[in-house]
Structure 1
Amino acid sequence: MTIMRGGTASQGTPIGILMADTVSARIPGDVGNGFTYDFPVRFYTVKGATAERIVQGVDEGLLDAFLDGARFLEAEGCQAITTSCSMIAFQEQLASAVEIPVFTSSLIQASFAAQIIQPHKKVGILTDNARSLDPRCCVGYGLTEERIAIQGLEETRAYYPAFYSGADRYVYEEVEADVLWAAGKLMKEHPDIGAIVCEGTGLSPFSPAVSRMAGLPTFDIVTLIHLVASGTLRGMTSPFQNQLNGGETGVPPQWGRPPMGFVEAEKGGCV
C-alpha cells in the first residue's frame, strides 16, 4: 500500500518566482513567461515592486514585501524560489526567511563560469544598468574583480525603455539589436572574455543570440532556474516529461517540502 500525502493546497510547482510589479512584455524565454519552462512554476507578484522603485534601491518596506512573498511561495509548496529582478544584495536575507533554497540573481553563476574557463580569461557581465551594479556582487569563490568586465545597457534606445519606462510592449528586433550591441562592445573592449553572464533578467530571451554572436558559454537567470529545477526534480520526474518516475520500487515522487510531501510506502505480504 502506498500512501500519498499533500499538506498544501496544490503540489507540483517546484519553482516559485517573485515577480516585480510591472507590465513589461514577458515573451517566451523571459523569466516571467510560463512557456519558458518545461516544468510548472508558480508566480507571485510583489505589490509595489515597480521598476522605478527597484532602480532607486530596495528599501526596507519593499524588502519586507519580498520576504512575505517568499514565505507565501514556500507555504504553497514551492521547493525553490527566485526573483524576476536581480536582488543579489539581499540574497542572505531572502535565503534566511524560508527553509527552501533561494537564488536571487544570475550572478550566482559568475564564479561557476570562472571555474570552467581558462584562469587568465575574464567573465563578462551584461547588466541593465552598470552604474547600479556593485562589482563586489559579482565576485567570490575564487572570482576576483580583476577577472570581471561589466557592460551596461542603461543608455540604449530600445532595451532600457522596454523594461524601465512602464511600457507594455516593445519591438523585438530593436531590443535584440541593443543587446547584441552591448555584447559586441563588451567583447571588443575585453577580447580575453571566456564566458558571459547576463545579470539583467530581461536579457534572458536574447542570451541565445548573444551566445551565437560571441561563440561563448552564456548564462542568465533562466539557465540558473533550470539548473536548480534539475536538482529539485531529480527524483520526481522522468526528466521534465511530467511523468511519475518511481523506479523499481514503484514509489511515486515526493511533492512539496518534507515532511508535508513525504511519501510513505508499505509493502504488503502475501496472504
Structure 2
Amino acid sequence: MISIILKSIEKDKGKNKGEVMFSNFMFIKNAYPSLYELGYLAEHNIFNDADTSLYKLRKLGEELVQVILEFINVQKSDSFFLNLNVLERGNYLDNEILTLLHSIRIRGNSTIHNSNGTSIELAKRSLYEAFQITTYFYVRFVDQDFKIPVYREPNYAKSIDHSLGNQNRTSYVFEKDKLFFDSFMSYIEEVVYEGIIDKKVNGFGSVKEVENMSFHEFHGFFSGALENIAGLGDQYVEGLLYLRNICKEQLQTNDPQYINRQLATMLYSRSIWG
C-alpha cells in the first residue's frame, strides 16, 4: 500500500501543467534523464522543502558516482560512501570534486535526523555544488568541448508560483495526502509496537501485556521506529520526508522535533496507555 501511494504521489508531483521551468541541469537531460530529474526536483523544492532538496541532491551524487565507476570500468557497490572511497584511493577524480561529493552525501544523510531543519541557504549552496560536480563530470567523461553554462540561482517567486501551479491543491490532492498520512502512520505504529514488544516482553506476546508506559518512554520508542524505518531504504526515507512535509503544512511549522512530538502524541493517545 505505501509503495503504491508513494509512486502515485511522485507521479503527480512531476506533472507539469504549464511551461517547463528553467533548470541548471538541463544540459544533462538527454544523456542522463535520471540525473536531470533529481537535479530539477532539488532545484524546485529549495524554498518549500529544503530537506527534500538536500536528499534529492544526495541521490544525484550517489547515481553520478555509479555512472563514473561504469565509465572507468571499476566495480561498484551499493554504498555511496564505499564508492567514493574507491574513487579517492584510485585518484580518479579531483580532490575538490571528491570533497563536494562527500559534503552532499553527509548533508543528505542528515535530513531525517536534523532537529533544526535545513536552511534554504544550505540547500542553495548544495545545489550549486551539485551543478559544479555534474558539469565537471560532463566535460571530463562525456564531451570535452562542452561549454559550461552560466549558473542561475533559483528564484523564490518563480519557484513558489511553479509549485502552486503544479500542485493545484484541490480536494483530490488533500485526499491523497490524507490517504498517505493514515497509511504511513499506521505503518509507523506497527514498527513502534514491534519495538515495544521486543524490549518489554522479549519479542513474544502483545503490547497488552505492558501495563504502564509513560509518554516519555513511548516517545523514545517512536523515535527509534523512525530511525529503523529510515534505515530500510530510499523509498522509506522518501515516505518520512513526505510525511514531514504534510505536517509542515498542517501544523504551520518547520520544527522537526515539534512535528515528531505531535505525531508521537497522536499515536500515544490512541494506545492502551494514552
Q: With the length of structure 1 as denominator, give the TM-score of the two structures.
A: 0.24
Higher helix fraction (1 or 2): 2
Larger relative contact order (CA 8 Å, sep ≥ 6): 1
Higher strand fraction (1 or 2): 1
